Structure 1
Amino acid sequence: MPAQALQPLEIGAAARTLAGEKESGDRFVVLPSRHGTVVSVVDGLGHGPAAAFAGKLAVHAISKHVDDILPVQVERCHQMLKKSRGAVMALAHLQPTAGQMSWLSIGNVAALRLRPTSRGQASVHSVLPRGGIIGHRVPARMQTLSETLDFQVGDLVLFATDGIAEVFYRDVDCQAPCQAIADSLLKRHSKETDDALVLVLRWNENPPTDPSASGPGQP
């Protein structure tokens, strides 16, 4: 999948559908909003057409309610997915110009911020995943589940579904293009037993200008 830019973000994505299936349940969406940029990675439960249907519904709900706050967006997804198999998801609001990011994760979708250091390594901050299945059960008091942290030029934000091994972030080349990072992570860490998707974003100081409002993976 080609990388795209949503100023001031560089975006790379890579995905693989489980062998024997025509559609993946793993989806992502990146859209501008009044918050800055809304990013979500969704994993429809299981695989095959039912998982793909749930993933598409979740992306549609986020796109339709892109200007809502995080807890409201999750609730909109929850209501829309009640007649589906359900999904897990990570959802983030990126505000590069304000230097902050708010995010949450329901279920086993990984979300991490990698910040390069002077020693050539990266400090890692992971979202705290909350139990639940969108469409079936979500945590109570959802307004308290999101976390806000600082977001700086050069920071990488990585999202991965559970078709990617948990240790995927440990050997990331933080200087590589986002698309190269996504392709490499998918190749080296994807499992053969599930759909898999990796989404990588970087805040660039001088980003390429591209008015595109969404990335591959949106229905």
Structure 2
Amino acid sequence: MEVGATLLGWTHKAFPMDDPSRVGEARRHAAQAVADMGWGEVDAGRLALVVTELGTNLQRHAQNGRMLLAAMPQSGEFELICIDNGPGIPDLALAMRDGHSTGSTPGTGLGAVRRLANHFDIHSELPHGTVSVARLRAGPPVDTTPGLHVGAIRLPAPHETVCGDGWALATQGTQTTVLMADGLGHGPEAAKASQAATTAFAEAPHGDLRETLQAVHRALQTTRGAAVCALRIDMADHIAGNSTAGNTADSTSDATACGTVSYTGAGNIVGRVLSGVFDKSVITQHGTAGMQIRKPDITSLALPAHALVVLHSDGLETRWSVERIRPLLQRDPTLVAAVLLRDHTRHRDDATVVVIRPKEQP
């Protein structure tokens, strides 16, 4: 992605793997999506095998197994996320050996998925279950988030075909700005509100965060309104190798800070900045963009080394423990998003979670 361009969040479609026929349904959905992206037969065939392998594993061995599929046109990738509620994989190293499978599958086994996918990561915990993410692409890699690892899941409410949440991300120099919007309610009207928010953000994503929030507020006045959070990560200290970020309010020590996180917003978009030794909440003021908001204020805190920044809509519970995701702090952020969705979704609204981790500097 061109530096300064805006990455618009993708939407996942969920396929509960409660019947063998759902594997074929997911495979057909994936095939149509990548055909629209211009993939050739060989790459589409690789994807079909991965969908079949992962879907069959979920259907045969998992409790409440779900596959989430998303086309990511800006990066040219297709993403498959698998989530289940148990029983977990007793010997993950054995399961990952190429050719190992407990049944007859086309691949065969998770080792084949790792071989066929351009990226594959998996985490299993007994008895809570397993989460995995696979990404495939047909061409050379496109870095849409320079300097960052970003994992995100965006799901419509049950029985809805569009998602009332939206998110977008833009990078310029050492700064990355994220906007998340949760349109009131769910369905098409909520989706119009969140789309208006991300469109307004994309027009000027690098300005003062207060001005960004005001611009979004104005853009939403013809919609039903939305909860909104605009958050900026500045990695200038990480790049320069110093630690001036410790001077911000509500910060960690100078010795461990590698950047700053600043945010403003209105409504119930919440999140956390956390590492193995640090945990601070991201909470915005009351109000609804497009209807009524107070004069925006900005809260800043230091970004510790090896930290994650998590933002989510109220489709996830506000209170959650970091313990279940602590082993994943340095893994693919999508695994963190998958665990949070699995363990804390409310199951009655749109649900979006975005997880960001700065890349380690050489």
**Which residue of structure 1 lines up, in the alignment, with residue 219 of structure 2?**
80
CA distance in 2, matches of 1:177, 1:61: 30
Checking the alignment, whether the CA contact within 8 Å between 2:146 and 2:171 is kept in structure 1 is no
CA distance in 2, matches of 1:39, 1:197: 13
1:3-62 Cα shifts (integer Å, max 9, x gaps) = 876121110001221111110111111111367111111101100000000000000011
Give 2:261's match in structure 1, choosing from 92, 101, 104. 101
Structure-to-structure mapping, 1:50-199, within 5 angstroms: 50-98=189-237, 99-117=259-277, 123-140=278-295, 142=296, 145-170=297-322, 171-173=324-326, 174-199=329-354
**Contiguous gaps of at least 5 residues in structure 2:** 1-69, 71-78, 80-134, 136-142, 238-258
Identical counterparts, % of pairs: 27
| Cα drift, residue 206 of structure 1 | 4.0
TM-score where L is the length of structure 1: 0.84
Checking the alignment, whether the CA contact within 8 Å between 2:213 and 2:264 is kept in structure 1 is no
CA distance in 1, matches of 2:229, 2:348: 21
Q: 62-71 or 98-107: which moved more?
A: 98-107
CA 1:35/1:135 → structure 2, altered by over 3 Å: closer, same or farther?
Answer: farther
| 3-state SS, counterpart of residue 310 of structure 2 | strand
CA 1:183/1:86 → structure 2, altered by over 3 Å: closer, same or farther?
Answer: same
CA 1:169/1:71 → structure 2, altered by over 3 Å: closer, same or farther?
Answer: farther
CA 1:21/1:30 → structure 2, altered by over 3 Å: closer, same or farther?
Answer: same
Checking the alignment, whether the CA contact within 8 Å between 1:104 and 1:127 is kept in structure 2 is no
**Which residue of structure 1 lines up, in the alignment, with residue 150 of structure 2?**
11
TM-score where L is the length of structure 2: 0.52
CA distance in 1, matches of 2:188, 2:331: 34
Give 1:22's match in structure 2, choosing from 152, 161, 165. 161
Q: Which amino acid aligns with 2:199?
A: H
CA distance in 2, matches of 1:111, 1:5: 23
| Cα drift, residue 75 of structure 1 | 0.5
Checking the alignment, whether the CA contact within 8 Å between 1:5 and 1:11 is kept in structure 2 is no
CA distance in 2, matches of 1:162, 1:30: 19
CA distance in 1, matches of 2:174, 2:183: 26
CA distance in 2, matches of 1:184, 1:133: 29
Q: Is 1:202 the equivalent of 2:362?
A: no
| 3-state SS, counterpart of residue 18 of structure 1 | coil
CA distance in 1, matches of 2:290, 2:152: 26
**Structure with bigger gyration radius:** 2
CA RMSD after TM alignment: 1.9
**Which residue of structure 2 lines up, in the alignment, with residue 216 of structure 1?**
none
